[in-house]
Amino acid sequence: MSNEMTTDRRPIAYLASLIGLVGLAGLIVLGVACGSSSLTGTADSTTCADLMNQYTIAYAHAQVCDPTAANQCQQPVDGPNCIANCGALVQDPTAADAIVTRMINLGCAHPLACPCAAPQTYTCAPADGGGGICQGSFATPR
């Protein structure tokens, strides 16, 4: 037997596995709560899924613009997370922003300061069937 000091690592491994299980359980509970369509918190039983559906519709309406008018698609719109509509500009964000506020209050959305890939330029592009829709394009590198 050598004179080296050895450490029994079993208690450390047990503690690490216990913390891992507790952390995993917490993530599962959080995932179910955030992804569940049964999460309610309003008097009218509005769910996170309901609000996300409402947001999708409100965002589509916010993009409607007039391609013949000046200064279209200049208003920033809130998104429910870092991925959705990062840095997007629309014609009228009022309804979409109000829904994001409700989502935040209900715990469905978690606003973060999210960096976008690159600034986009928004214009009002003609839409099929008439009218227009706000459309973003990335700046061309020089």
Is the distance from CB of 99 to CB of 61 less than 8 angstroms?
Answer: no
Nearest-5° angle of CA 132, CA 69, CA 98? Answer: 65
pLDDT given for residue 31 in this prediction: 36
11, pLDDT greater than 90:
no
* pLDDT at position 102: 94
CA triple 73-75-79, angle to 5 deg: 110
Query: In this prediction, what percent of the chain has a pLDDT beyond 90?
Result: 40
Is 43 a residue whose pLDDT tops 80? no
> Is the per-residue pLDDT at 37 higher than 90?
no
Mean pLDDT, the chain, as a whole number? 73
pLDDT of residue 14: 40
- Domain boundaries defined on the chain: 45-138
Contact between 111 and 126 under an 8 Å Cβ cutoff? The reply is: no
Predicted pLDDT at 8:
46
pLDDT digits (tens, 9 = 90+) for 65-113: 999 999 999 999 888 877 767 778 999 999 999 999 999 899 888 766 6
Q: Rounded distance, CA 124 to CA 43, Å?
A: 39
Q: In angstroms, what CA-CA distances link 47 with 13, 135, 140?
A: 41, 30, 41
Contact status, residue 90 vs residue 97, Cβ threshold 8 Å: no
Q: Which residues of 31-50 are buried (b: 16+ CB within 10 A; e: fewer)?
A: eeeeeeeebeeeeeebbbeb
64 compared with 38, residue with greater pLDDT: 64
pLDDT of residue 99: 94
Residue with tokens 């891992």: 20
